[in-house]
Structure 1
Amino acid sequence: MDLPTLQPESSSKEDFKTICIIGAGPSGLAALKVILDSPQYKAGKWKPTAFESRDSIGGVWLPAPPTDDPPLTPLYDSLTSNLPHPIMAFPSYPFPPSTPLFPRANLVLDYLSSYADHFHLRPHIKLNTTVASVVRSPASTSSSPTWHVSLSTGNTLNFDLVLVCNGHYRIPRYPNIPGLARWLNARRASHSAWYRHPTTNLGPTVLVVGAGPSGHDIARDMLTASHTSTVIHSGPAHANTDVGNLKLRGRVSHFGESGEVAFEDGTTEHGVSHAILATGYELSFPFLPPFIVRPGVPPPAPPLPKELYNSTYSLFPLARHLWPLHHCIPSSSMAFLGLLVRVAPFPVVEAQARAALYAFEDRERLDSTREAVEVVTRYEALRERVGSDDPTAIAKAWHRFEPLEQFDYRDALYDFVSSPRDGDLEAVWESRSVEGSSNGIGRGARVPEWEKEAYLAKDVLRKAWVRLEERGEAEEWVRGVGEGGLHEWVEMMRRLKTWAEEHWQEIDVVNEEVDKSRL
């Protein structure tokens, strides 16, 4: 488990750097792949090690029974990607030809496994190894390791860079609704982290709280359960609507003592047998002590706090949602990958990994003053967007991107890595990203327009795909697609969007009404 004590002959002690990656889910795998691409790794100057607490790679996509508290993953049986895989995939590695456009979770796990094998990542991953703590070395200098990383094996290793890639789908978030604690204690309510399939008898009337992707999926699942006659789906944007045995309702205001549930619009439902809370997850970094990440909502900005706060919704302040602006932590020695929500995460984390390593290779590349100004600028823009000075409201929105914002963000990271300096990392990360291609990113790269087009059409494409599956035609639509390159997937998605517009009346009414609830 210990890292080598001798440095490679090709590198001086000052040049040799060790890199810790916490987690081997999508973010950790992307970080490891990008490191192995770098000239520093190939010259023997960088040694990465990824630590994964579970017995295999994949993170949230790796199944586990709902026995732990909380479960190791919230992955439920019916989970299907809510993004078309051409825009979901890592830019450096497309899904195989003929893959269903919206792949089920097992195919995504196969894809991640293939990614790890293709780029020879597994030798650098330590499975069944939990990172227990990460603390700054008091004796750290520019030429010696910065971080002490203690492991579940009992070992403590030293690292120059820590990439935090532990995901954010483990710790359930429970809403603060009057009466809910009583329902939880009586096992009349449960978080969706424990949900796997609708075969468990939860009674005749099931309430699903939450209108994100999991709430949508679970509500639709429960409509197929033979023991459930009525499904109530609660979401903030719902109008009070009944469609068959589905009832759409607004926010829950109160859980009563005898199965009644009151809603903010003044209506009440009686005889609710069970409530499933699809209410999201909290950011959690149990390996970072409070003097590195302070729990709580940060104070209003400006000025920026000197400490890093975890509100459970976001980390603040982070430069570019990556680097801590902390008074006693060199920003370039730690980075948090994969915190953004409402994005296509795989392409984002590959871009983030390149940016993190670019700053790590030369700390002068990260201008903390300029980054602080950008953070304040976003803070003020979010204050206007949410219409409130409440720091909690801003914290909730901090890592949440508007539909096209993620693409501007990726382009900005590409620009950052491509800034003109001799010997920069991007010299070997040369740009091969062109319209219809997915072979890499680098110098001068830009997110292709088709990705934006497909992302904006993702809900229409998914409804159309579900209909094709119902008609038994989905497999034919994708047979052989991708064998000639990514442009075939781009053409297929455009054809499917046109088909959806021509066959809109065939979209199932119930699915359409449930889809209206999605955030």
Structure 2
Amino acid sequence: MSRVCIIGAGAAGLCAARHLLVEPSVGQVDILEQAGQLGGTWVYTEKVGYDDFGLPIHTSMYKSLRTNLPKEIMGFPDFPVPESDRSYLPAKEMLAFLQLYSDKHGVTEHIKFKHHVQLVKPKQGRSGELWDVTFKDISTGVSETREYDYVFVCNGHYNTPFIPQIPGLKEFQGDVMHSHDYRVPEIFSGKKVLVVGAGPSGMDIALEITSVSPKVILSHHLKEQLRTVFPDNLVQKPDVIRVEGTKAFFQDGTEDDVDVMFLCTGYMYNFPFLHESCEIVVEDNCVEPLYKHLVNINHPTMCFIGVPYYVCAFAMFDLQVRYYVRAINGTFKMPTPEEMTAQWEEEKQERAARGYTKRQAHMMGPDQERYYASLADEAGTKNLPSVLTKIREESTIRFMHNLKYYRQDKYKIIDDDTYEIISNDGVRKILC
């Protein structure tokens, strides 16, 4: 019987545990969670920086956050988000959903809360490779090392800020802050704020802080022209090319004085607990070598759930877990390390030929359906319905061009290929 260690009790870790606990070939499942509750990035705390035990605050959740995807595509394939009168939910409702999911599947009782993973290291056992996992009970300060057959890395990737290399940023004479530490807009009252980055959080927060700031500059390099009508005190600018004193200089030759450089520039994959002998390298935000963005090619008894982004996250976690559990129980046999390496290199070259940078190695978006199909086909398991990616694409377009009102849209899944949307202006459409 296999012993499995799951690192993290966010959505990915809970999903892994849900499937492993009912798998006959698995005898022991330990879920190690640094926080005092489950939910990972969906947990809101006013604290920033470090927690009471001196560990970095994991969550990047801000107080007003509502999902930027409709709940209809945010559930698990076998456990949808409960019905309600709206599609876009506050974070606390998603946290409650994860608690319900965990409780219903008997996962919660297996979670070791306030357990900080310190080191994961491979070693040879009698029947093959094993893992020594060292973790500390941060309530007592006592560390322990346990031996496992498999390791599921589910620590998320929205917790370690990415700081761009902007000339003069370190010498900036105003305030510099990353969205990881943003909680409420009032901290920007009366300040001119330069928001760097127009991803989902950048656009959301930029709009939110227009309520307290005399001027908000949204700096980005989106190729598509945004049709959203912003308040008069928000202006859009291209990329910042340098900073001097309190002045920011932009690619179009303009400049502006600002009080705050607010970096909404995303996050880095970070696995500080992995010993170098795990042979996982993160360079320019590319995690490798991973087969199907999932399996540690050099040590296939380790997997990473949730690395791809711009996906239907919870549903993808479920598919990734089902894929890997079927490999564990022998339903199918994964390729050899040499074959996996060849496929990984081929995929990188193919993506590069289509214009993807190394930093975008795990970005799916239009590639997500093909990715889901590749997992399902190889493992001989059920694929995700196409309606999920259709709704995701529709929602993303609505977000880009109707930022102020798109969360009033209401979605309904009709079947695996068809959905209904009632837009904020009351127009009902059925799309397939």
Using the size of structure 1 for normalisation, the TM-score is 0.74
Q: Say yes or no: does 1:256 pair with 2:244.
A: yes
- Write out aligned runs for 1:167-316 (5 A): 167-183=156-172, 186=173, 188-225=175-212, 228-237=213-222, 244-257=232-245, 259-270=246-257, 272-293=258-279, 308-311=280-283, 313-316=285-288
2:81 — aligned with what? Answer: 95
Q: CA RMSD in A?
A: 2.8
Secondary structure (helix, strand or coil) at the match of 1:171 reads coil
Instruction: Choose which of 120, 123, 127 in structure 1 pairs with 2:106.
Output: 120
Instruction: Choose which of 375, 385, 394 in structure 2 pairs with 1:448.
Output: 385
CA 468–409 in structure 1, closer or farther in 2 if over 3 Å, else same: closer
Higher helix share: 1
Structure 2 CA distance, aligned partners of 1:123 and 1:359? 26
1:400 — aligned with what? Answer: 363
Q: Say yes or no: does 1:336 pair with 2:304.
A: yes
Structure 1 CA distance, aligned partners of 2:15 and 2:230? 44
Structure 2 CA distance, aligned partners of 1:325 and 1:446? 23
Q: Say yes or no: does 1:467 pair with 2:405.
A: yes
Following TM superposition, by how much is the alpha carbon of 1:453 offset from its aligned partner in structure 2, in angstroms?
A: 2.2
| 8 Å Cα contact 1:460/1:497 also seen in 2 | no
Quick one: which amino acid aligns to residue 452 of structure 1? T
Quick one: which amino acid aligns to residue 316 of structure 2? V
Following TM superposition, by how much is the alpha carbon of 1:267 offset from its aligned partner in structure 2, in angstroms?
A: 1.1
1:35 — aligned with what? Answer: 20
Following TM superposition, by how much is the alpha carbon of 1:386 offset from its aligned partner in structure 2, in angstroms?
A: 2.2
Secondary structure (helix, strand or coil) at the match of 2:5 reads strand
Instruction: Choose which of 329, 344, 348 in structure 1 pairs with 2:316.
Output: 348
* Rg (Cα) greater in structure: 1
Using the size of structure 2 for normalisation, the TM-score is 0.88
Following TM superposition, by how much is the alpha carbon of 1:469 offset from its aligned partner in structure 2, in angstroms?
A: 7.0
1:74 — aligned with what? Answer: 60
| Runs of 5+ consecutive residues of structure 2 not aligned to the other structure | 51-55, 138-142
Structure 1 CA distance, aligned partners of 2:104 and 2:148? 26
Following TM superposition, by how much is the alpha carbon of 1:487 offset from its aligned partner in structure 2, in angstroms?
A: 3.4
2:132 — aligned with what? Answer: 148
Quick one: which amino acid aligns to residue 108 of structure 2? R
Q: Give the share of equivalent positions with the same residue, in percent.
A: 28
| 8 Å Cα contact 1:324/1:335 also seen in 2 | yes
CA 379–469 in structure 1, closer or farther in 2 if over 3 Å, else same: closer
Following TM superposition, by how much is the alpha carbon of 1:499 offset from its aligned partner in structure 2, in angstroms?
A: 5.5
| 8 Å Cα contact 1:83/1:102 also seen in 2 | yes
Q: Say yes or no: does 1:60 pair with 2:44.
A: no
Secondary structure (helix, strand or coil) at the match of 1:172 reads coil
Secondary structure (helix, strand or coil) at the match of 2:422 reads helix
Quick one: which amino acid aligns to residue 192 of structure 2? T
Quick one: which amino acid aligns to residue 335 of structure 1? C
1:496 — aligned with what? Answer: 422
Following TM superposition, by how much is the alpha carbon of 1:242 offset from its aligned partner in structure 2, in angstroms?
A: 8.6
Q: Say yes or no: does 1:158 pair with 2:121.
A: no
Structure 1 CA distance, aligned partners of 2:200 and 2:285? 18
Following TM superposition, by how much is the alpha carbon of 1:68 offset from its aligned partner in structure 2, in angstroms?
A: 2.2
Instruction: Choose which of 358, 368, 374 in structure 1 pairs with 2:343.
Output: 374
Higher strand share: 2
1:480-513 Cα distance to aligned partner (Å, 9 max, x none)? x8xxxx539997x52425967689xxxxxxxxxx
Structure 1 CA distance, aligned partners of 2:426 and 2:345? 42
Quick one: which amino acid aligns to residue 288 of structure 2? F
Instruction: Choose which of 373, 389, 409 in structure 1 pairs with 2:371.
Output: 409
| 8 Å Cα contact 2:49/2:181 also seen in 1 | no
| 8 Å Cα contact 2:414/2:420 also seen in 1 | no
| 8 Å Cα contact 1:457/1:497 also seen in 2 | no
Quick one: which amino acid aligns to residue 494 of structure 1? E
Q: Say yes or no: does 1:86 pair with 2:98.
A: no
CA 255–461 in structure 1, closer or farther in 2 if over 3 Å, else same: closer
Secondary structure (helix, strand or coil) at the match of 1:380 reads helix
1:302-339 Cα distance to aligned partner (Å, 9 max, x none)? xxxxxx3211512112110111222xx3x1x1001101
